[in-house]
Amino acid sequence: MTIATARVHIRPVSWLACASSMALLLGGCAGNLLRSDADAPDTFRLDVAAATAAATASATPSNSGLALAVARPRAAAAIDTDRIAVLSAGNRFDYYAAARWAESAPQMLQQNLVSALAATAQFGGGVMTAPARVPTELLLDVELRRFEVVTMGADAASSGAAPVVYVQVQASLVDSRRLARVTNFVSEAAVPASENRLSAVVAAFDRANAQVVSDIAARVQAAAAALPATP
């Protein structure tokens, strides 16, 4: 049996032409990566003053020399971000495309708690972020469970009704001297936005955050006040 063979003639291509074409292609890609006509996202920060004012309104100053460290809140990856989370109909989790928080949600909450608790004058030894450079008698352990806006529609844009902001935090006050938990509780707030606009949603986040921070500060103060200044 005879097997036919075929010869394929490949036309030689200049390596210089290939190099030139590749350079143009890469140049075009790099240009697209380094240049963008998209607008920078709007950046928002939770109102520390509002949270502090709410916490100090019912504060009871103490001469306690105890120091308190506030841990960075733990959070699920979906909300441990600087993006503004949206929970839409059908349990669809998404984010506003053109908006960001100035820091991640847990970091903003930590800063708010430190500012609010320091302003109460309850802790003579100071209030600081954990890990602290000096030993502290008390540690506030925090878990951020919810930090999102909930809409009724398939997404934030199509929702007819005003969305609702949910903030939920679990907090534990730990006496580091005795390695004992002093108190443990959940603080939460649900605040409707005045309208379905980003500015109204951010304002609702401010109010919900202030409610939660104020509640946490009041409970921590009450629990700490019953503790002795020394072991």
Output the domain CATH number for residue 54.
Answer: 3.40.50.10610
Residue 218 resides in a domain: yes
The count of structural domains within the chain is 1
Percent of the chain at pLDDT > 70 equals: 74
Identify whether 39 is part of a domain. Answer: no
Residue 88 lies in a domain: yes
Structural domain of 195: 47-225
What mean pLDDT comes out for the span 155-159? 59
Residue 205, CB half-sphere, CA atoms under 13 Å: how many? 25
Lowest pLDDT segment from 21-30, 97-106, 194-203: 21-30
Residue 26 lies in a domain: no
Mean of pLDDT values over 217-222: 93
Q: Is there a contact between 106 and 80 (Cβ–Cβ < 8 Å)?
A: yes
Residue 18 lies in a domain: no
In a domain, residue 176? The reply is: yes
Residue 203 forms part of a structural domain: yes
- Name residue 71's beta-bridge partners: none
Which amino acid belongs to residue 159?
Answer: S
131 belongs to a structural domain: yes
**What is the predicted pLDDT for the residue at 159?**
57
User: What average pLDDT does this structure show over 166-182?
Assistant: 95
pLDDT at 2 over 50: no
